[in-house]
């Protein structure tokens, strides 16, 4: 069995009306520097968003969440942020924002398998 190493994670939240502070969890970002892993899982519930605010611009939000995935994965069409190191990308992705897409506080844990942990966090937090 592989040795357990530290990881950090944050939940991606969609806040349709920032002034109301209501949100829907839409994704998770996990970073393990020792395992050289940065990953994200996105699952947006349009039904939950529309329940908070019927005029939510769902397609615009989906586009922003796809950009988060491209940056996280270091894809060439992810722009200059996607070319940064894993650590720098995680820092950028988890920095505080006051827009419709916000990030929870960063939390920590230990894992031997970051991908499996990411999958479990996605089930627990955004399903």
How far is residue 81's CA from residue 51's CA, in Å, rounded to a whole number?
A: 33
Task: Report whether 72 contacts 66 (CB < 8 A).
Answer: no
> Residue 7, SS3?
strand
How far is residue 52's CA from residue 58's CA, in Å, rounded to a whole number?
A: 12
How far is residue 119's CA from residue 35's CA, in Å, rounded to a whole number?
A: 16
The pLDDT of residue 127: 67
Give pLDDT tens digits for 81-127: 999 999 999 999 999 988 899 999 999 999 999 999 999 999 999 96
Return the exposure string of 16-33: e unless at least 16 CB atoms fall within 10 Å of the residue's CB, then b. Answer: beeeeebbbbbbbbbbbe
Give pLDDT tens digits for 17-48: 989 989 999 999 999 999 999 999 999 999 99
Q: How far is CA 4 from CA 1, 13, 53, 109, 123, in A?
A: 9, 28, 42, 9, 21
Give pLDDT tens digits for 60-84: 999 999 999 999 999 999 999 999 9
pTM beyond 0.85: yes
Tell me the pLDDT of the chain averaged across its residues: 95
Q: Where are the domains of the chain?
A: 5-126
């Amino acid at each position: 069995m592989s040795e357990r190493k530290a990881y950090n994670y944050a939940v991606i939240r969609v806040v349709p009306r920032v002034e109301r502070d209501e949100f829907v969890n839409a994704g998770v970002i996990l970073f393990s520097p020792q395992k050289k892993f940065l990953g994200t899982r996105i699952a947006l519930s349009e039904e939950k968003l529309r329940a908070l605010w019927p005029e939510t611009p769902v397609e615009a939000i989906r586009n922003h969440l796809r950009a988060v995935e491209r940056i996280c994965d270091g894809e060439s069409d992810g722009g200059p942020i996607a070319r940064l190191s894993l650590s720098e990308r995680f820092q950028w992705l988890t920095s505080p924002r006051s827009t419709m897409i916000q990030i929870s506080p960063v939390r920590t844990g230990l894992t031997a398998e970051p991908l499996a942990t990411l999958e479990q966090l996605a089930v627990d937090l955004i399903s």
